[in-house]
């Protein structure tokens, strides 16, 4: 893949205009991991709420992709004594990945599906974390998704777990690939951490039924930075632009010219081999509301405009503030988002 291909993708997906915060946290909470889809003629965002104990998954709704109304919790922590009793960080899978497409969720076996990060230790992403699967008949409904029997489906302690995922498995994005070019219909990308150093990289696994997963390759497909030092390449999100697969992901502590976490991308023609963009980040810390981190991307194109939601991290009165912000390829004529910038 030549530099011209990467440059053309960058020009297509870049979002230089920050509209501001679309979901701001209330006192005592942090909001994280925006995931946007269309269902029944409306837009919905799954996002994560951290209440000081752990993650739970919430839902918001919008008519214009700019202004969002929180609807409530759709995936709570598991019962006491369960493997996911402290963490329940869910995200939708089988998103229609066609660029400027419908941005809807596809069914499998008559259901909509979720994969989620779960753990039994309190705190912010406290190790170890594993992966579960859940389903619903209506992803727009404010009701609990149903956990699948046999959870967790991917664990750092699995016999076939590779060195880069030996301590914790984080967030996933699942592509429906009917060609089975990677060895299974569903191709799952996720970031994970080894035991010896805090270094997150992105690996892959495949499945034919959403419940039984086979790891692919001996190591990660995306990694950056010194393998002996703390760095992160995480939270993959994938779109199909022309004949190219584009993986949006965030980076941290492997670029000397960027303070804090930032969003970037990589490209592939076969889902197995990825070429990383090394130019300007898609978003980076620059405003009061994202002064520490601008990361964890969800990117789509709708009616000619590119929308890039991300977790914005700042500090207020000595405390870290996490909320959901939006960057765009162009700003609408009128908007009134909190902390808007031009």
In whole angstroms, give the CA distance from residue 124 to residue 86. 10
* Residues across the chain: 342
pLDDT per residue, tens digit, the chain (342 aa), is: 677 699 999 999 999 999 999 999 999 999 999 999 999 999 999 999 999 999 999 999 999 999 999 999 999 999 999 999 999 999 999 999 999 999 999 999 999 999 999 999 999 999 999 999 999 999 999 999 999 999 999 999 999 999 999 999 999 999 999 899 999 999 999 999 999 999 999 999 999 999 999 999 999 999 999 999 999 999 999 999 999 999 999 999 999 999 999 999 999 999 999 999 999 999 999 999 999 999 999 999 999 999 999 999 999 988 999 999 999 999 987 666 654 432
CB 45 within 8 A of CB 64: no
Distance between the two ends of the chain, CA-based, in angstroms?
35
Predicted model pTM: 0.96
Cβ-defined contacts of 261-266 (< 8 Å, 24+): 261/232, 261/285, 261/293, 261/294, 261/295, 261/313, 262/293, 262/294, 262/295, 263/294, 263/295, 263/296, 263/297, 263/308, 263/310, 265/9, 265/10, 265/13, 266/222
Write out the two tokens for 132. 């579960």
Residue ranges and CATH numbers for the domains of the chain are: 3-328 (2.115.10.20)
Is the bond leading into 128 cis (omega within 30 degrees of zero)? Answer: yes
DSSP secondary structure code for residue 7 in this structure: H
Inter-residue contact 298 to 308 (CB < 8 Å)? yes
């Amino acid at each position: 893949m030549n530099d011209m291909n990467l440059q053309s993708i960058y020009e297509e997906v870049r979002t230089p205009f920050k509209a501001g915060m679309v979901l701001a946290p209330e006192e005592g909470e942090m909001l994280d991991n925006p995931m946007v889809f269309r269902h029944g003629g409306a837009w919905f965002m799954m996002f994560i709420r951290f209440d000081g104990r752990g993650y739970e998954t919430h839902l918001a709704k919008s008519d214009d992709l700019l202004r969002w109304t929180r609807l409530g919790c759709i995936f709570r922590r598991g019962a006491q004594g369960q493997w996911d009793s402290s963490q329940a960080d869910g995200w939708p899978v089988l998103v229609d990945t066609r660029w400027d497409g419908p941005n809807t969720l596809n069914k499998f076996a008559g259901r909509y599906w979720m994969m989620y990060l779960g753990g039994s230790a309190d705190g912010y992403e406290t190790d170890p974390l594993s992966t579960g699967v859940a389903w619903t008949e209506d992803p727009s409904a404010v009701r609990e998704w149903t956990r699948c029997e046999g959870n967790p489906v991917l664990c750092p302690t699995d016999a076939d777990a590779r060195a880069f995922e030996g301590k914790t498995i984080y967030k996933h994005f699942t592509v429906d690939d009917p060609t089975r070019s990677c060895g299974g219909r569903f191709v799952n990308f996720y970031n994970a951490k080894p035991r010896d150093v805090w270094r997150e990289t992105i690996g892959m696994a495949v499945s034919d039924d959403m419940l039984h997963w086979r790891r692919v390759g001996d190591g990660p497909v995306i990694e950056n930075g010194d393998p002996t030092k703390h760095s992160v390449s995480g939270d993959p999100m994938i779109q199909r632009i022309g004949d190219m697969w584009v993986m949006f992901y965030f980076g941290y502590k492997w670029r000397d010219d960027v303070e804090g976490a930032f969003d970037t991308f990589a490209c592939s023609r076969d889902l197995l081999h990825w070429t990383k963009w090394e130019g300007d980040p898609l978003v980076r810390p620059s405003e009061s509301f994202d002064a520490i981190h601008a990361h964890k991307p969800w990117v789509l194109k709708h009616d000619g405009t590119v929308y890039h939601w991300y977790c914005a991290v700042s500090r207020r009165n000595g405390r870290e503030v996490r909320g959901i912000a939006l960057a765009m390829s162009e700003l609408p004529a009128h908007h009134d988002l909190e902390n808007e910038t031009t």
